Structure formats: structure tokens, C-alpha cells
Structure 1
Amino acid sequence: MQATRHLIIPGWHGSPDDHWQSHWQRTLPDTLRVEQDDWFRPDRDLWVATLQHTLMSDTRPVVLIAHSLGCITVAHWAHQAPALLKRRVLGALLVAPADVERPGCPEALRPFSPLPTKPLPFPALVVGSDNDPAATVDRALSLSKRWGAEASILSGVGHLNVASGHTQWDEGFVHLARLRQLIESRVLRRA
């Protein structure tokens, strides 16, 4: 696969220094993070606009690595972005997507509903958990199906964040490698 940049897209409250996304940002070559103005009071339109602005700042191909509300931001962006910009995205790793329509969802996340339901225009892999408080297995599988993404449901890993013990999460690189296989398969099909 051609040399790509990686774009880290954190969720609500951002990704602190000990979060696996921060570790990956330090580990993966050519990696940038989307920096939202307010991590604690997310605004769907502003978050989507910030993602778009970050993508527009560089013309190279990119792999998106999103967590939680960042996954939902990616889905909203993908359904309204210009085709030329979407073509720069090689694929997306969507880890622990937050179900913003679930009962008991924090009020701050509700403006991100309704959840986008159209297929994503690039290969994607949704990584969920069988005990994630932010999305049940059924919802994670439903989102992956709607988005045309492959799904991988892990056992007992919670929300895949610092609170669930995922600081470095080097095991996650297996899922990034699987996403790269999906990207390569798509390239071969188009050749």
C-alpha cells in the first residue's frame, strides 16, 4: 500500500496522553490528530467542520483512526463531504462507536443523532466490544452493516479507553492491519 498519513479522531473528552490513540499518534509514522475546540461540549457541525478542515490541509491519502464519538463524526462527515475529499480517505478504523441514540446517552452527545445510515464511501472496520456501555453488540453490528463496514466484536474490553485499561492497545494494530487488507482488496478490484 502506498505511503499514507494517519489521522487520529478522538471522541468526547478527547484522548489524554495515556489513551491508546495518543500512543498510536506517537508510534505510527506521519500521524496527525484532529483537535476540536471543545472536547467537553461537542457540537456536531463544528466537529464535522474541523474534521473537514483538517483533511483539506493536506492532499495526501489518509487512513482515519476514530474512537467513540469520533466514529460518529466520521460518519456524519462522510455523508456530506465533497466527493473529491472523500476520495482521499483510503479507509477508516472505527473503534467503539458511541450509540448516541441509546437510552441513557449523555445529553451532550444527543445532538449527534440521528446516526448516519448510508454506506461509507471507503473501506471501514468497526471494532466493538461485548460489554461496551456506549454501544451494545447489536448496535455496533447494526452500525457496521449500515455503514458497509466489516465488524470485529471483542470480548470483555469495555469502551476501549483508558478507563477500561486500554492505554497502548498494541493489539489494536491487528485491526489496523486488517483495515489495510480491506483497502488493498478494494484497490485490486478497481485495477
Structure 2
Amino acid sequence: MLSHAASSCASRWPPRLVTVPGLHGSEGGHWQSWLERQFARSLRVEQDDWDAPDLARWSHALGRLLARERGPFVLAAHSYGCLVAAHALQKGTVAADVVGTLLVAPASPEKFRFAGAFEARRLPMPAILIGSETDPWMPLEGAQRLAQQLGSAFVNLGDAGHVNTAAGFGPWPRAKYLVDTLVHCEAPRRLHAGSDFGVSDRLKLA
């Protein structure tokens, strides 16, 4: 028989998808827009000005969204949105109800220095970072290094450009598979009261 805490946790399952777009947002044909349609009650963080990146302000917008909605959540971020998500998740109040994070084609922090200083620190939940060998916004080795700094699993997508609409990434079943992977890895732990997971429980991909 489940304890009250475990029963409450199970009743809030599965997590809600939250997409975190990058510079200029993600249009209707983008894989993030497609992914939102694959999950019930999905959310998207909105920014006041999608053309004016600001790390602190954009991260605060994500924090406000998670604070006013009922979790748990799983994040799917793209490009500069990956830096925004990682920055926000370094704050315990934001990360508390996030069970997993998918980071796709992160933009190089050096290219966005003007938008605020970014410090890559280990994330407090399982994460998967996807890099591309032909991404103009982040060399593959930079993506690999960032994944290591964040403590995330790493996937090399090969010749995939910036993993956006221009590179042919509209409907993208693999993104849904990876989100489901993050959710399913966390589900057993959520059935036990107080079963918070730490670094030792991180998702490992071969």
C-alpha cells in the first residue's frame, strides 16, 4: 500500500512538458512546437522580447512559470534556451519539481556573453544534452564539454546543423523518445515517499 506522500506523488504523474525556446522563439513547424502537441497539458515559457536575450530575465520567466503551475515538470530546451534552463535550474526553488531536462543544440555561452555571465554547473536532476557535428552555434567538442560540466548524458546527432526547422527538424520522434526516457527513469523512484535522487542516480546512456 502506498504511503500518503507516495500516493500524492503518483497522482501528479506524468510530469508536464515545458519547452524552453531560444533566440527568436520557435515557430509552429519547429520540433519544440511539435513536441508540445505530443503531451497533454504541455507548457511553453514565454519571453517579453524573443529578440533580446537576457540570461537573468529569461531564466526568471522560466522560474515564474514553474512556480505558478503544478508540477512535476520535464524540460525540453533548444539553443539559447538550454543556457536559460541550466541557469534557472541552478536555483533550488526552480529545480525542486523538475524531474529531467533535455538540452538540444545548446548555443555557445561565449556567443551570448553580452546577455549575462553563464556558469556551467552540475544539474541536480537527470539530463540529456544533444550536440551536432555541424552546428554553427556550438562546436561538437564544446557541446561535449558542456555536457560534462552539467553532468548530463551526451548524444552526438551527427550532421544535424542547429537541430532546428532549417535543418529539417519539424516532427521529431526521437525527441519524444528521449523525454519519455527521462520520465520513465524517474517514475520508479517517485513511487517511494521522499525518494529524491542525487548525482549517483543520474541517467546513463551507452
Query: TM class, shorter-chain normalised?
Result: 0.7 to 0.9
Aligned to 2:106: 97
- Any residues of structure 2 matched to 1:119-158 within 5 Å, and which? 119-158=122-161
More off after superposition, 22-31 vs 11-20: 22-31
Q: SS state of the match for residue 62, structure 2? A: helix
Aligned AA (1:175): L
**2:84 is equivalent to residue 73 of structure 1:** yes
Shift of 1:4: 1.2
Q: Give every structure 1 segment of 4 or more consecutive aligned residues whose post-TM-superposition deviation is greater than 4 Å.
A: 184-191
CA pair 184-67 structure 1, distance change in 2 beyond 3 A: same
What are the within-5 Å matches in structure 2 for residues 1-191 of structure 1? 2-79=13-90, 81=91, 83-101=92-110, 105=111, 109-112=112-115, 114-184=117-187
Task: Identify unmatched segments of 5+ residues in structure 1.
Answer: none
| Structure of greater Rg | 2
TM norm structure 2: 0.81
CA RMSD of aligned residues (A): 2.0
* Farther off after superposition, 164-173 or 50-59: 164-173
Q: In 1, Cα distance between the equivalents of 2:147 and 2:74?
A: 17
> Judging changes above 3 Å, is the alpha-carbon distance between structure 1 residues 45 and 115 closer, same or farther for their aligned structure 2 residues?
closer
| Cα pair 1:6 1:65 within 8 Å, conserved | yes
Partner residue in 1 for 2:4 = none
> Quick one: distance in 2 between partners of 1:161 and 1:68?
9
Deviations 1:101-145 (A, max 9, x none): 1xxx3xxx3234543221001111001111111111111111111
Q: Which runs of 5+ in 2 are unaligned?
A: 1-9, 198-206
